[in-house]
């Protein structure tokens, strides 16, 4: 089943609430992008308690931060169902995975386009999935790098039942290629939220 996950990248509480209210009745999952201005240049709002205002939604938290271990507990305590951390910023990824799973949340790894897949291969059996970045993270609306699809196919050969998600550059043109490559979880930010009709945007991606 194709799952469209609106990616929420905001700097203010007002913007957070506006975006979530637009999609709260349209999807089952939403992604909250957390940036610290260190791992990536941008800095976003980091207020875990806000997700309690949307009890019908399942939240995955995409940690684009240094020292991700500092962010995990507050988000899980607030009700996050899934924590996605970057392999590039995790000094001890196995410990992070263990900490997340002990809290009964799902643990997933994100990996940037320039990072060798060998870094995550030993961890594939320990996580619920892998998020492949379609471009270097940090800004919304970036162009999708097609080499991401080859990377996805390589991971699928190693672990056929691995759940993959694509983030960055997901739109009406790239979605069909992504889905054809066997990736059924698509995180989309600007394509959904810059559309005057978010419901229609989500529907377009689902039917790609």
pLDDT for position 161: 94
Catalytic residue among 25, 36, 167, 203: 167
Contact (CB, 8 A) for 111 and 85: no
Q: Where are the alpha helices (DSSP H) in the chain?
A: 13-23, 69-78, 93-102, 147-158, 175-180, 190-193, 198-206
pLDDT for position 196: 96
3-state secondary structure of 49: helix
pLDDT for position 143: 85
Q: Which residues contact 179 (CB under 8 A, 6 or more apart)?
A: 2, 186, 208
Mean pLDDT of 142-156: 92
* Residue corresponding to tokens 């739109």: 171
pLDDT for position 141: 65
Q: What percent of the chain has pLDDT over 70?
A: 98
Mean pLDDT of 77-96: 97
Domains of the chain: total:
1
Mean pLDDT of 189-203: 97
Write out the residue range of the structural domain in which residue 25 sits. Answer: 3-206
pLDDT for position 140: 63
pLDDT for position 174: 96
Reported as a pLDDT band with limits 50, 70 and 90, residue 139 is low
Reported as a pLDDT band with limits 50, 70 and 90, residue 179 is very high
In angstroms, the Cα distances linking 158 to 70, 122, 123, 205 are 31, 11, 12, 27
In angstroms, the Cα distances linking 123 to 12, 44, 81, 96, 152 are 35, 28, 20, 11, 15
Question: Residue 142's domain is classified under what CATH number?
Answer: 3.20.20.70
Classify the phi-psi angles of 89: left when phi > 0, otherwise alpha if psi is within -120 to 50, otherwise beta. Answer: alpha
Is there a catalytic annotation at residue 167?
A: yes
Q: Is the pLDDT at 136 greater than 90, yes or no? A: no
pLDDT for position 103: 93
Q: Is the pLDDT at 9 greater than 90, yes or no? A: yes
Classify the phi-psi angles of 200: left when phi > 0, otherwise alpha if psi is within -120 to 50, otherwise beta. Answer: alpha
Task: Tell me the pLDDT of the chain averaged across its residues.
Answer: 95
Is there a catalytic annotation at residue 203?
A: no
Mean pLDDT of 161-181: 95
Q: Is the pLDDT at 191 greater than 70, yes or no? A: yes
pLDDT for position 198: 98
3-state secondary structure of 135: coil
What's the rounded Cα separation, in Å, for the pair 170 and 186? 7
Q: Is the pLDDT at 182 greater than 70, yes or no? A: yes
pTM of the model: 0.96
Among 203, 201, 174, 204, CA closest to 190:
201
């Amino acid at each position: 089943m194709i799952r469209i996950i609106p990616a929420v990248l905001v700097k203010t509480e007002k913007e957070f609430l506006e975006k979530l209210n637009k999609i709260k009745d349209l999807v089952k999952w939403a992604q909250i992008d957390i940036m610290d201005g260190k791992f990536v240049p941008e800095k976003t709002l980091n207020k875990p308690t806000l997700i309690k205002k949307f009890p019908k939604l399942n939240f995955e938290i995409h940690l684009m931060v240094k020292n991700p271990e500092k962010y995990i507990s507050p988000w899980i305590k607030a009700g996050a169902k899934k924590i996605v951390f970057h392999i590039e910023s995790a000094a001890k990824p196995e410990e992070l995975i263990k900490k997340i799973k002990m809290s009964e949340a799902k643990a997933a790894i994100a990996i940037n386009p320039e990072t060798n897949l060998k870094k995550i291969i030993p961890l594939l059996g320990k996580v619920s999935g892998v998020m492949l970045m379609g471009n270097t993270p940090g800004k919304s609306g970036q162009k999708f790098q097609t080499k991401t699809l080859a990377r996805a196919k390589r991971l699928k050969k190693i672990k056929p039942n691995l759940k993959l998600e694509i983030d960055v550059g997901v739109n009406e043109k790239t979605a069909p290629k992504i889905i054809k490559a066997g990736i059924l979880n698509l995180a989309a930010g600007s394509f959904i939220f810059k559309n005057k009709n978010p419901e229609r945007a989500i529907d377009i991606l689902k039917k790609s």
